[in-house]
Amino acid sequence: MADSTELQARQSIHVAGEWRHAVSGATRAILDPADAAPFALVAEGDEKDTDLAVEAARAAFDGGAGAWPRTPVAERAALLRRVADLLVRDREELGLLESRDAGKTAEEGRVDIDCVADAFRYFADLVAAEAPGRVVDAGSPDIHSVVVHEPVGVCALITPWNYPLLQASWKIAPALAAGNTFVVKPSEITPMTTIALIGLLAEAGLPAGVANIVTGPGHTVGARLAEHPDVDLVSFTGGLASGTKVARAAAPTVKKVALELGGKNPNVVFADACATEEGFDTAVDQALNAAFIHSGQVCSAGARLIVEESVRDRFVTELARRAERIRLGRGTAEGVECGPLVSEQHRAKVEEYVASALAEGAVLRCGGKRPQPSDVRPATGWFYEPTVLDHCHREMRVVREEVFGPVVTVETFRTEDEAVALANDTEYGLAGAVWTADAGRARRVAGRLRHGTVWINDFHPYLPQAEWGGFGKSGTGRELGPAGLAEYRETKHVYQNLAPKPVRWFTG
């Protein structure tokens, strides 16, 4: 693998229909987390590049009759469908790029591309089927009153490193469907597939200036987007601390803000779900998926296993046995089931959480260390073993804070009320799951959980037509579904008097 000095810097900033280097000429090496070697060199934008991108998006939004906001809905929907077709065409290439960029397995990368295409098709179908407005009965035949939905304007879209293209699509597809223009800032460490998507949008025929991308760090590009007076909406997905900074920066201009800030998600297992061998096997298998897909670097990961006391020992023993057998390695290698963590700094953070848990009394059932190198696991890669921490309690940092790694904590309960109390005892409220054979209990518990998504006898299904977002410190606003489209719109009431007459309020 060539080092960063041998790589040619690509023009990864796209403004007003043109690919560019950064104004400053700065670059950043993109590292493969499987071996820490650079495989691409991209432009490192800053505030100057951001201002140019916002200016281009503003001009594209404010243009004349042919501008994107005034393009007929059918044409906007057709473009989104063309993008979906291009994603399907490039599925293998994009899936492998996502794997190399973010460290996930190649199969996870391919599935991500399928989900991205689904999102573009969903929002195309949603806007194409809408009525043009809601007629309001004003009580007079001389009054025509209608409520319409219009695009917000220039959107700043700030996306995370764990699902680079999927999270970008959840913002870009509805933003375009609604008629907005945008500037997207992907994570500086995983920008490659978002760059590729901007290219596909141009290939599909999107007018210049509608879609702009600035690659660069959050403290410059992201901060400038959040505060920029010509940005009408900022949509951010990432950590709580960064999201708070985004909201604070956006406040003086009173722009619309949507935040998806992660979660600390409960996976509640009742004993009756494990009454049969098939039920037990399914619940354990899904607990593995909940905790360890993409090495736990998932905002909705089932990182808190809350299991009924009577089945706890058997369940945790089997969970740990299976976790130990997960095959770690480079995501593109045959037979690998789980890849590395995204960076050396992130692995150090996960290690610190595990160390603190053990110091606070947690019992290590498996994992808790870096694996031995192998032919698919370079010594320089940022790998960490799937880890099960037993006998955890609510005062532990590892239970309360988002680890975002391959770590699952185990708590136990005896009663339904206790299970609900444990599941809700978090500042977050993104997602959770309930496992039970009792349909009545399933509905009761799901109804009492303070989380934006609750799965019953399942974990991590994806439906673009269902809203996604959380309660509490998991953020504000929603992505996907009709509400995800509504985030990118303003509501306007148009009142037309067809027979105006004088109104004598004053005696002049």
Cα→Cα distances 49→180, 203, 218, 482, Å: 20, 23, 13, 33
Q: Which residues in the chain are classed under CATH 3.40.309.10? A: 266-456
- Say how far apart CA 166 and CA 294 lie, in whole Å: 14
- For the 266-456 domain, the top CATH level (class) is alpha beta
pLDDT(1) > 50: no
Q: For position 189, what pLDDT does the model report?
A: 97
Q: What is the mean pLDDT of residues 283-293?
A: 98
Q: For position 94, what pLDDT does the model report?
A: 98
Q: Would you give the DSSP letter of residue 9?
A: P
pLDDT in tens, 112-130: 999 999 999 999 999 999 9
Sign, CA dihedral 224-210-155-81, equals: negative
Q: Which residues in the chain are classed under CATH 3.40.605.10? A: 4-261+478-493
Mean predicted lDDT score pLDDT of the chain: 96
For β-strands 407-413 and 387-390, DSSP reports them as: parallel
Q: What is the mean pLDDT of residues 465-492?
A: 97
* Burial bucket for residue 382 (CB in 10 Å: 0-12, 13-18, 19+): buried
What three-state secondary structure class fits 476?
strand
Question: What is the percentage of the chain residues whose pLDDT exceeds 70?
Answer: 99
- Say how far apart CA 2 and CA 6 lie, in whole Å: 6
Amino acid at 466: A
**What is the DSSP track for 84-147?**
HHHHHHTHHHHHHHHHHHH---HHHHHHHHHHHHHHHHHHHHHHHT--S-EEE--SSTTEEEEE
The distance from CA 468 to its chain's CA centroid, rounded to whole angstroms, is 9
- Say how far apart CA 332 and CA 276 lie, in whole Å: 37
pLDDT(3) > 80: no
Name the more confident of 72 and 6: 72
What three-state secondary structure class fits 404?
coil
- Say how far apart CA 436 and CA 354 lie, in whole Å: 30
pLDDT(508) > 80: no
Q: What is the mean pLDDT of residues 194-223?
A: 98
For β-strands 475-476 and 256-260, DSSP reports them as: antiparallel
pLDDT in tens, 419-465: 999 999 999 999 999 999 999 999 999 999 999 999 999 999 989 99
Closest CA to 261 of 406, 402, 164: 402
Residues in contact with 199: Cβ distance below 8 Å, sequence separation at least 6, in sequence order: none
- Say how far apart CA 293 and CA 370 lie, in whole Å: 17
Topology of domain 4-261+478-493, CATH:
Aldehyde Dehydrogenase; Chain A, domain 1 (3.40.605)
Q: How many residues does the chain have?
A: 508
pLDDT in tens, 303-317: 999 999 999 999 999
Q: For position 456, what pLDDT does the model report?
A: 98
- Say how far apart CA 404 and CA 295 lie, in whole Å: 8
Q: HEC profile for 201-245?
A: HHHCCCCCCCEEECCCCHHHHHHHHHHCCCCCEEEEECCHHHHHH
> Encoding tokens for residue 232?
């009408």
- Say how far apart CA 196 and CA 478 lie, in whole Å: 25
The whole-model pTM stands at: 0.96
Residues in contact with 313: Cβ distance below 8 Å, sequence separation at least 6, in sequence order: none
Q: What is the mean pLDDT of residues 40-64?
A: 97
pLDDT in tens, 244-282: 999 999 999 999 999 999 899 999 999 999 999 999 999
Cα→Cα distances 158→39, 111, 217, 404, 416, Å: 23, 22, 11, 19, 39
Q: What is the mean pLDDT of residues 466-474?
A: 97
Which positions are annotated as active-site residues? 260
- Say how far apart CA 101 and CA 79 lie, in whole Å: 27
pLDDT(4) > 70: no
